[in-house]
Homo-oligomer: A and B are copies of this chain.
Amino acid sequence: MKTAFQNLLYPKLDFLKGKKLLLATSGGIDSMVLVDLLLKENFEIAIAHCNFQLRGIESFEDQKFIENFAQKNNIPVFITQFDTKAFAEDYKLSTQVAARELRYNWFYELLETENFDYILTAHHADDNLETFLINLSRGTGIEGLTGIPQQNEKIIRPLLAFSRNEIEAYANENQIEWREDSSNASDKYLRNKVRHHIVPLLKDLNPGFLSAFQKTQDYLQQTQGMAEDAAIMVYQQVAQEANDEIHFNLKKLKKLSNYHSYLYQWLSEFGFSAWKDIYALADSQSGKQVFSPEFRLVKNRDFLILSPLKNLKETSEFLINENTTDVNFPIKLSFSKVDSVIETSNKTIFTDVDKLKFPLILRRWNEGDVFEPFGMDGKSKKVSKFFKDEKFSLAEKEKTWLLCSGNKIIWIVGKRADERFKVSETTKNILQIALS
């Protein structure tokens, strides 16, 4: 006789009848229950097991357990072994994220090559609740609270509406064999605290807690979807894409009282994190900029312009404002007002502030560039000739930066200063500029 649990579950899975299903099977209680439930109703299933090699001999015993189970029940089985630790190190991922990445990539590969219709996983309602609470404990955006969806493209989670209790009860009644779930130890520690101490108290507040929680997650998913819609709609109104750059129209954007939310939404995927600086940028003078590891955001009159650094390094101009003390990109420069010229070197020059036109410009050299080399009595020289005379390699030339005041060169950075900006007897304010 079928249990109430089965009578609730099976009608929901009608659409999987006749489909080729691949079950992600760790060997833990949840996945072994799902396998049993599907076997009992003659679904067309195969099982896939990843050996992440994270717990030595235990990992191989899990694998063996799955292989035996598949053989005994005459089910097709796919097994793979990952060097999870190495993968995590190579891609600078946490072990957990690495394992997830490897697992789902392989599942999708099998889906493709073996012509499965769907991948099934055994996540249940308590998994979502535990993850919600763990993310909450660390601080999170809405994406950390919405939970794994019941269906996401080709991945289906048939047990997501059911509780851990229901699954454990089924396992006991049906004498399901299983092995303790494998998972990252520190995550397990946190998860166990949540599972054994916090979740029971929450369920105690309201006997219908878990189903109320599922409704909450449904609502949050709806809200998240609408927020994403808004991000797209506002983007279409204020952003223009051109030459790998995105130009955000600040006049239009700032009509929205919550425009910070939009900047956050758009820019976080480009690796930005200095939000205070970015929000200040919207109100700052032209030339101010904020960097993420691979992108630059620069204020340019009524626009914020997002550019990939790889482009910038070759083609762009970097503006340096009057009160700047440190520039960290594309090269490291420091600026300080000093009382007297100390010691000029390749790496340090001294200039007459009152001759400079701000913002200064830091840029690559062009074919036509001309300067007046320091100590040459005001004779001008082509930059290309200077390179030739100094026997610069092509690589050296390409690496060279020019610091300019308007269209005049102040410094071929690290190589030679210009005569026109040098400190003289009439100089009142001295600016020391150093390369580090």
Contact = CB atoms under 8 A, between A and B. Distances in A.
B205 A229 contact: no
Contact of A142 (B205, B206, B219, B258): B219
Given A136-B213, A205-B137, A258 B226 contact: yes
Interface string A244-268: 0000000000001010111011000
A141 B142 CA distance: 12
Contacts of A224: 223, 227
Contacts of A136: 202, 212-213, 216
Given A190-B205, A216-B139, A226 B225 contact: no
Contact of A226 (B201, B205, B222, B265): B265
Contacts of A138: 206, 212
A140 B226 contact: no
A212 to B, nearest CB: 3
Contacts of A139: 208, 211-213, 215-216
A278 B139 CA distance: 36
A170 to B, nearest CB: 25
Given A141-B216, A190-B205, A234 B223 contact: no
A226 B193 CA distance: 34
Nearest to A219: B141
A213 to B, nearest CB: 7
A261 to B, nearest CB: 4
A201 B201 CA distance: 10
Given A205-B190, A261-B225, A220 B137 contact: no
A198 B215 CA distance: 21
A140 B190 contact: no
Closest 7 CB pairs of A and B: A139-B212, A230-B230, A226-B227, A222-B261, A137-B205, A226-B230, A141-B219
Interface of A: 133-134, 136-142, 144-145, 190, 193-194, 197-198, 201-202, 204-206, 208-209, 211-213, 215-216, 219-220, 222-227, 229-231, 233-234, 256, 258, 260-262, 264-265
